[in-house]
Amino acid sequence: ALLDLIGPSQIEGVWKASVVLPCTYVPVKDFGQQALTWTVVHDQSSGTIFRRDASGDHVLLSEYRDRVEVPKNLAGNVSLHILKLEISDRGTYTCHVTWTASNNSLIAKEISTKVEVVKVAVTKPIIRAGALGLTVPAGARASLTCVAHGSPPISYRWFRAVPGGTALLLSSQAELAWDSLRPSDAGTYYCEAENR
């Protein structure tokens, strides 16, 4: 099939997490992508979320501003990424692509995907313990990464244990990194994960 859009008819996203609505095609020589739009029909409203054309990328619905993106420079991939899914995001999303042929004729195709938003069972974060007793040469780059499973969003904090004192907070990221380790960095470090 020449220039067909491919994507699922239905997708389930998790509340507060991000979701990808796939929309892809196989690029064909002599056909250039002219415009892409993503539209949505909700229970209460409808409209154009995103438009990409010669003038650039535009997010047109305010409730999606700073929450949607479409990959750049991935030929044939015009999937919509939605961050921090809201319950109100449920609806039918349509990916519409227009191509220009070398003889200036236009071809347009569209596919629709129904999106459901589910609330997962709320779970406390569980951290998988890493290797204990890590030995790393001085001067090396190193990092410790904390991975927790549970209901998003999860925040992380790294501490260094101080014998007989209050632990030192070192980072509020999942990763704790050193550009160049010094002997004085030796010690006990631990990670804390927290969600609602």
Q: How far apart are CA 145 and CA 177, in angstroms?
A: 8
Residues of the chain with pLDDT > 70, as a percent, come to: 98
pLDDT digits (tens, 9 = 90+) for 137-149: 999 998 888 988 8
- Compute the average pLDDT of residues 159-170: 92
At residue 64, the pLDDT reads: 94
- Compute the average pLDDT of residues 147-164: 90
Name every residue whose Cβ is closer than 8 Å to that of residue 24 and which is 6 or more positions away in sequence. 5, 6, 7, 76, 77, 78, 79
pLDDT category of residue 196 using cuts at 50, 70 and 90: confident
At residue 104, the pLDDT reads: 87
130 alpha-carbon distance from chain centroid: 25
pLDDT digits (tens, 9 = 90+) for 89-98: 999 999 999 9
pLDDT category of residue 179 using cuts at 50, 70 and 90: very high
Residues of the chain with CATH 2.60.40.10: 5-118, 126-195
**CATH code of the region 126-195:** 2.60.40.10
Provide the phi-psi class of 91: left if phi over 0, else alpha when psi is between -120 and 50, else beta.
Answer: left
Average model confidence (pLDDT) for the chain?
91
Q: How far apart are CA 81 and CA 124, in angstroms?
A: 26
At residue 41, the pLDDT reads: 96
pLDDT digits (tens, 9 = 90+) for 79-138: 999 999 999 999 999 999 999 998 889 999 999 999 999 987 678 888 877 767 788 899
At residue 129, the pLDDT reads: 72
- Compute the average pLDDT of residues 165-190: 92
Q: How far apart are CA 155 and CA 148, in angstroms?
A: 9
- Compute the average pLDDT of residues 182-187: 93
Q: Which CATH class is domain 5-118?
A: mainly beta
At residue 134, the pLDDT reads: 82
Name every residue whose Cβ is closer than 8 Å to that of residue 103 and which is 6 or more positions away in sequence. none
At residue 161, the pLDDT reads: 93
Which residues are bridge partners to 28 per DSSP?
Answer: none
